[in-house]
Amino acid sequence: MARRSVNSAETSTPTIRTVASHAGVGVGTVSRVLNGGPVSPEARARVNRAIQELGFSPLLVARGLAMRLTSTVGFVVNSTRGSWFAELLAGIEEALSPSRRSVVLASLRLTGEYDASTVEAWIQERRVDALLFVRSSRRERGLIQAARTAGLPVGLIAPDEHVRASVRVGCDNERGGELLAAHLLGLGHERFAFVCGPSGSRDTRDRVRGFERELHRNGHALPPSRLIIADSYYAEAARPFARAWLGTRASIRPTAVVLASDAMALGFMHELLDAGVRIPEDVSVAGFDDAPESAICWPGLTTVAQPTRRMAREACQALLRCVDGPDDPDVREYEVELVARRSCARPPHA
């Protein structure tokens, strides 16, 4: 009985010997893996798999002491507002949880003014093992280069500028624009408006490009006056256009309005509904992202869904592989799909 008790304790708190036995290697091999020593790729993979399966906690501490790793990934965003950010963060946490790593967060516009000092300190003082940027722009080019110079793997999610990085993921936004245009054309619409995100946003440019291409393919066009640039992807950015739409004669105003994010679309809908406009009877509205609130608002918002959480999870997983092994570039583009709900219908008097 006493002997079984000892074995049970060893099983619940694995040691290096437990890991070595589980992986079918010697204790010295496990030690070299923990301390960054020379080990064949096959043996290293077996040891790391055994460590994960057994939940051997000294892994990150030991490797950190030898290789100056922090067991932390830096997550850099412009703002933490909105459910899109929440989905990204959930995906990152899913990726980090198995390896018991942590995420630290920096908002570049936390107070409204651009401030990259926190990220600069992370890089200069090696406080993180890697950096993951969301919607990075030309302004972040210096931070990304500084991180790469310091030997930190860098991942980019939906970047607005394609710069060299260890990992880059995004969606087929042109296809998303095509899908929305085809859907609205199929309902019989002929007068359209597209409310874009910030002018520097690559996602917006690609969405508009796909939307216009599908319109042209079917003998329609988006007038320049109906292509509106907003200063953000948030709800309030769409409200000025909502007021402009309300002030336009019914005979000439767009019967279908596409907005570059679900948050913008919901802000637009709120203004119109508050003014007594019926959606979709008087105007059809669509967005992008498939945010959780888009399915529970009334009417439900037609949107283009992107696998936000999966994108973040797999971007982070690829980034961790760069921390643990060769820093080989990994570029991925994810498919999108149309989610048709009740905010779109046939145009008035059709």
Q: In sequence order, what DSSP letters do the residues of 9-54 get, joined into one string?
A: HHHHS--HHHHHHHHTS-HHHHHHHHTT----HHHHHHHHHHHHHH
Query: Tens digits of per-residue pLDDT, 111-125?
Result: 889 999 999 999 998
CA dihedral 308, 261, 286, 257 (to 10 degrees): -160
Q: Are strands 167-171 and 192-196 parallel, antiparallel or unpaired?
A: unpaired
Average pLDDT over every residue of 288-310? 95
Residue 260 backbone dihedrals phi, psi, to 5 degrees: -75, -5
pLDDT at 8: 37
Average pLDDT over every residue of 16-25? 83
Residue of 247, 159, 233 lying closest to 195 (CA atoms): 233
Q: Are the beta carbons of 201 and 171 closer than 8 angstroms?
A: no
Contacts of 8 (CB under 8 A, 6+ apart): none
Query: Does residue 289 have a pLDDT over 70?
Result: yes
Q: What is the band of 64 on the pLDDT scale with cuts at 50, 70, 90? A: very low
Tokens at residue 284, please? 């059809």
Q: Are the beta carbons of 208 and 178 closer than 8 angstroms?
A: no
Half-sphere exposure of 256 (CA within 13 A, CB side): 27
Average pLDDT over every residue of 254-280? 97
Mean pLDDT, the chain, integer: 88
Average pLDDT over every residue of 22-30? 81
pLDDT at 57: 57
Query: Does residue 58 have a pLDDT over 70?
Result: no
The residue with tokens 């651009």 is 114
The residue with tokens 């899109």 is 84
Looking at per-residue pLDDT, the higher value among 90 and 162 belongs to: 90
Query: Does residue 3 have a pLDDT over 80?
Result: no
pLDDT at 325: 79
Rounded to whole angstroms, the Cα distance separating 240 from 275 reads: 14
Looking at per-residue pLDDT, the higher value among 253 and 43 belongs to: 253
Q: What is the band of 108 on the pLDDT scale with cuts at 50, 70, 90? A: very high
Query: Does residue 63 have a pLDDT over 50?
Result: no
Query: Does residue 217 have a pLDDT over 60?
Result: yes
pLDDT at 26: 82
Distances (CA, A) of 326 to 11, 146, 152: 33, 19, 12
pTM for the whole structure: 0.78
Residue ranges of the alpha helices (H) in the chain? 2-12, 16-23, 27-34, 41-54, 58-67, 83-96, 117-124, 141-149, 173-186, 202-217, 239-246, 262-274, 308-324
Give the chain's domains with CATH numbers: 2-67 (1.10.260.40), 72-171+308-334 (3.40.50.2300), 173-306 (3.40.50.2300)
The rounded percent of the chain whose pLDDT value lies above 70 is 91
Query: Tens digits of per-residue pLDDT, 221-242?
Result: 999 999 999 999 999 999 999 9
Q: What is the band of 71 on the pLDDT scale with cuts at 50, 70, 90? A: confident
